[in-house]
Structure 1
């Protein structure tokens, strides 16, 4: 099958949608399909051979974050050439209402179209404003996928209709088999916890974790906090209590392999995100690696953690509750191990071998629907043509 996938966000910086697109494309390529991806990217960015660059992206504020998007006539021309050259059996657009490559592809494309909605935004002026303009194009989408119930509600609220829920995927074994790193492994008197994310983005929750740490350090003075992700540590720690800043080790951006090893090595992975999350791919990665997960009780996180049976949760934006729960976990290795085991078992339902099959079923459904609609006029009117008989 010839599959075209459009990603609205730049491949120059890491992100959940970008990882989803990359992993899905590589899974289908591994199964023998012909896959082509188009996404914004700078000319200096090294891209896999299956990716076509839609050109340099511009940073704009979107959905509580800063997104790097590409739009305009030059990008539209590149998208048009990609569509013409690809001659795809199915076109898969991610975030088809985000003003970037996916919107341009949707406007230009014909044929079987599938769209995946990742965002959870029940109140969005951007979507409310864009919908009347995009409505004719959105009606071309034959198959709608949402990565979570929260994302599905965004579809029903802002787009209309419904979507089938198919979660994000993870290569579970890559994390399960990741080697532990001695420098990141905790000791009884010096346990380790990890935070991964953009440090300067408030909704990722690092300020909540920092506010909880004085109480945690009072009970666990040897705690080491490993912080991975982009951001300036000096800027981030300005105003923090000295003992909190001293407990943190800033690793900067980490490779996929290092991320897996980090998650496999720490005693607890902490996800203090405050909102704007429709799924929680990092939770699945941590669970796959065998880490005990502690996450804010966002609805999306709660669903991933099966209501708390596959990981611990604390009250969102409540540092005191985070501190209490973290201290309890660090003091109870048996409970940590039980949660880690339950998380690793649950992670299997999110493996790409499961998720990609569900996505392929959507592809096949919309392709068959397109073929049926093309044959319908002939079946309807062919019986009136000379020499034609129909049952």
Structure 2
């Protein structure tokens, strides 16, 4: 019956579907954070998915609905369309899904079976969907991978709770990826993971999209560019203290600030108070496609973050030929060669002194030379290849963990937390059995994989129109 329905549905669009190439993986990226939200995690997921698709793998993305953006959308260039499931899941604060533990299992399981997924690849510790999907994937016998993009502490209540949740959800994960060595050390300590299961694969940059253009720079003034979410974690309080002192000591320096967030008001109040309206330009939120046009106007890029696992923004700025000043936090010292970045401690006097030093050095920077160096150092194609190598390693291990193996992993958490995790793992298994009876796998229509080379131009345009 299910196969009959499938054949009937596939008569539409001139049978433009076909199976994926042999030996390629079927991957589901899962994260609460994706378009229309913009950030480092979102751009990492997008860039990695595009390069995996180019290599012949099937990649879909599962996230929650954003306003009226619901259902299935196809995103990207016509040759590399990414299928995105915007699930009807309620987001809470900061566009993170409401924790449910088991309520999202039916829809996630339906998608994974419908798309014949082999690997569930979750992203970001603070994503509820990511944590839940790792547990679901393990219970369904699928390979599971987790990528960590951020650093978290150990001594505040929120971090303690998050670390315990992550320790539970990752206890059955097959492999973990971190974007820097600092991030790796942080994750191993927080989640108590076996170091052998954790791989470092850094972020990258598309050099074709971030090219220098010295003609866009002012010849009379030195422009310091800030492109960031204007929130506490990004060190905006430090920026509020830095700008007046730099403007006071360096008459030839102006600031360009691109971004939005709850600290924007603090910045604007500082500009009003110090009467710097003609020295500080606010651009508001800037789409990622327009970030390059902002960067090329500057001579120096300033990042005041209080914590960063990698910071792709400084990589994009350096690729555009800017000299970077960034606080020495997290994995930032790993990103750029020492002659492309100045690394002050995260305090106002140190940042001011390093901005002054950057102003003195920026004239000697060769934008195109730095661009070519970074082009050789960072490549999304290489990142995709290293990610596939992690998938290959998992595949070579053979069968996935049994129920008793998973319960043993939960029990190893120890104490009351281990007991709770054990009960939750058993509950998840029982719920999965009930969902399997209610929604039998043989009645879920399998979606054939799109063969993009067989699509006509009008058919490609029709798919892209689904994302509008």
Both proteins in one fold, TM over 0.5: yes
* Maintained 8 Å contact 2:319/2:370: no
Q: Is the 8 A contact 1:11 1:40 kept in 2?
A: no
1:40 Cα offset (Å): 2.0
Shift of 1:323: 1.9
Q: 2:38 corresponds to which residue?
A: 14
**1:269/1:286 contact within 8 Å kept:** yes
Deviation at 1:264, TM superposition (A): 2.6
CA shift for structure 1 position 13: 1.8
- Within 5 A, what are the aligned runs for 1:280-295? 280-295=311-326
How far apart, in 2, do the equivalents of 1:296 and 1:326 lie? 11
Q: Is the 8 A contact 2:33 2:127 kept in 1?
A: no
What is the alpha-carbon root mean square deviation over aligned residues?
2.8
**Which protein, 1 or 2, shows the higher relative CO under an 8 Å CA cutoff with sep ≥ 6?**
2
> Which residue among 43, 48, 71 is the counterpart of 1:24?
48
Q: Could you tell me how far apart the structure 2 residues matched to 1:105 and 1:343 are?
A: 38
Provide the residue aligned with 1:88 in structure 2: 117
Deviation at 1:299, TM superposition (A): 3.5
Q: Aligned to 1:367, what secondary structure does the other structure show?
A: helix
CA contact (8 A) 1:192 1:226 kept: yes
Contact persistence 2:224–2:301 (CA under 8 A): yes
* Superposed displacement of residue 132, structure 1: 6.2
Q: Does 1:195 align with 2:212?
A: no
Please give the alpha-carbon distance, in whole angstroms, between the structure 2 residues aligned to 1:368 and 1:239.
58
C-alpha distance in structure 1 between counterparts of 2:177 and 2:238, whole Å:
32
Q: Does residue 216 in structure 1 map to residue 240 in structure 2?
A: no
- Contact persistence 1:40–1:57 (CA under 8 A): yes
> 1: distance between equivalents of 2:85 and 2:278?
44
User: Are 2:131 and 1:103 equivalent residues in the alignment?
Assistant: yes
Bigger shift: residues 256-265 or 71-80: 71-80
Q: What is residue 316 of structure 1 aligned with on the other side?
A: 346
Q: 1:231-310 residue pairs with structure 2 within 5 A?
A: 231=261, 233-234=264-265, 236-240=267-271, 241-275=273-307, 277-306=308-337, 308-310=338-340
Match of 1:36 in 2: 60
313 and 137 in structure 1: CA distance in 2 versus 1, 3 angstrom threshold: closer
Q: Secondary structure in 2 aligned to 1:138? A: helix
For residues 155 and 231 of structure 1, the distance between their equivalents in structure 2, rounded to whole angstroms, comes to 27
**Match of residue 235, structure 2, among 205, 208, 211:** 205
Instruction: Determine the structure 2 residue equivalent to 1:330.
Output: 359
1-structure distance, mates of 2:265, 2:236: 14
The gaps in structure 1 that reach 5 residues or longer are 61-65, 375-391
Hey, what does 1:225 align to over in structure 2?
255
Q: Using the TM superposition, give the Cα deviation of residue 43 of structure 1 relative to its aligned residue in structure 2, in angstroms.
A: 4.4
Aligned to 1:355: 383
Query: Contact 1:93–1:116 at 8 Å: present in 2 too?
Result: yes
Contact kept? 2:320, 2:371, Cα under 8 Å: no
2:87 to 54, 61, 78: 54
8 Å contact kept, 1:144–1:164: yes
Aligned residues: 359
- SS across alignment from 1:314: coil
Structure 2 unmatched runs, 5+ = 1-24, 76-81, 403-468
Distance 2:32 2:295 in 1: 28
In structure 2, the CA distance between the partners of 1:30 and 1:130, relative to structure 1 (3 Å rule), is same
Question: What's the counterpart of residue 108 of structure 2?
Answer: 79
Find the counterpart in structure 2 of residue 386 from structure 1.
none
Cα distance, 1:350 vs structure 2: 2.5
